[in-house]
Homo-oligomer: A and B are copies of this chain.
Amino acid sequence: MEHRPKKVQTSLVTMHDVAKLAGVSQSTVSRVLNIGQSQPLISEETSERVMNAVEQLGYFPNLTARSLRSQQSLMIAMMVGNISNPFYHGIVQTVEEISHYRGYDMLIANGYKNPEKELRFCRALMRRPVDGIIMSSDFITDENIDQLIKYTGAAVVSMNEYIKHPEVDILLSSDEGASYMAVKWLIENKHHRQVGFIGIVDTHPNGKLRRAGYRRALEDSDISARDDYEQIGADYTVEQGAQTMRALMSLPTPPTAVFVCSDIMAIGAINQTLDMGFRIPEDVAVVGFDDIPAAQFIRPSLTTLAQFPAEIGRQLANALFERIEGRYIGPKRTFKVPLRLVERQST
């Protein structure tokens, strides 16, 4: 932080240079360049002279100056949980595409389920106001968001149900419904009656929903839930998947199908099952959740609930830009994106 050399350099060519070359005033140059925004009209001729000068000098407008003056940054910020989680890839890509299309750049940060990092993100945006914010957070509070909105005027969209701020749109995957669908499908289309479940501790909000869907599907099919068919892992890891599956398959009457609330755990479960000498799907069918890339690579490939990342990204970006551009002004909206079952070899 110390030795920062003072850059004397400043923009090589400014509106002033363009104006001089074109023989007009600087504000005329601004008008020509920002045409269409309820500006007074510009004569064909000046407009052309200006554009020529722009071309000739290789002029680029300075967005920093523009932002300072117009209180509009042409930037959006996005915080994801962890960019190495494949779930975010399609979302980030779609948001990026839409943002670029609209002329916005994208600032990005990882939250890492770390309160410090998440707060740092907020603080960064208090100092460098952006026009819109998309976040997937675990610790950011409604008050943090409120401060952000009040101070910077940014539009905010969240991917987390726990955010209740009245001006923040929420976008969710329908985890409960998708789980219900998958389990129902195992029962009705694949004729399983002994369906096990591998979940995740309740501190993880999605875990609860996915388990709820599983239970509802059993109930709806008049299958009584068995405690020993519900295994709960400590975290989303291959090892936890293997361990919980071992418990399940060591039961006197092991399930004939298992719904696993995450692909990573499902992969651990599959490898464990094969190691124990069972066949998949003949002895036991396995369904995962997320459709990570590896789901197609493993053998047997994994039947799983796939997100629609592009759709999620599209809805996030749309909701955000509706607010940024003033096409929607109003209270919190909640959007749900469905999932689809991708049938592969494990069922």
Binding site for B on A (CB under 8 A): 1-5, 7-12, 36-37, 58, 60-65, 67-68, 70-75, 83-84, 86, 89-90, 92-93, 96, 100, 102-103, 105-110, 120, 123-124, 126-129, 150-151, 153, 238, 267, 271, 274, 293-294, 296-299, 324-327
Contact = CB atoms under 8 A, between A and B. Distances in A.
A84 B86 contact: yes
Contacts of A5: 325-326
Given A297-B267, A297-B298, A68 B64 contact: yes
B62 A64 contact: no
B293 A271 contact: no
B60 A151 contact: yes
B102 A105 contact: no
A2 B102 CA distance: 10
A4 B36 CA distance: 12
Nearest to A274: B299
A238 B64 contact: no
A106 B103 contact: no
A110 to B, nearest CB: 6
A110 B89 CA distance: 11
Nearest to A72: B7
